[in-house]
Amino acid sequence: MPSLVIKDPALGTPNGLIYDARHKRLVVVCRESGKILAVNLRNKNFYPLMSKKFKGVDGIDFDHEGNLLVADHKAGTVYRVRGYSKIEVLRKNMIAPADISFDPRNKQVLIPSLKGNIVFTLPLN
């Protein structure tokens, strides 16, 4: 049975999450606020992981090196965030990239589109 972790309007419409086992927290991307937040599961406190705000974050996963992968459907861009600080553009000018997933076996990002009825794959080095 599902259980409520946190409810707070300051979250800014959570739209993707992943468990960060290394730091024992949830990492949440919030569509309205454009923020990436960390949620402490013990005390339910949350805080921004980085100062950058995105336009329309929609998907999140970790790559094979533990870097964060983020899809921004409004910007049409998929990013890699190294160490929660260095932001790299992996691919831009995409059609509404959404709930991404990482395929570790083939070292590629799987990217569905919110529009256009298409799915992309993006190899990672």
**Domain ranges (residues) in the chain:** 13-123
Q: What is the pLDDT of residues 5-16, one digit of tens each?
A: 889 988 888 989
* Type of residue at 103: D
Distances (CA, A) of 52 to 74, 80, 102, 107: 15, 13, 22, 26
Rounded Cα distance, 74 and 24, in Å: 30
Fold of 13-123: Neuraminidase (2.120.10)
Residue 77 CA to residue 99 CA, distance in Å, equals: 12
What pLDDT is stored for residue 108 in this prediction?
97
pTM, two decimals, is 0.91
For the chain, list residues with pLDDT below 50: none
- Please, what is the Cα angle at 90 between 87 and 93, to 5 degrees? 115
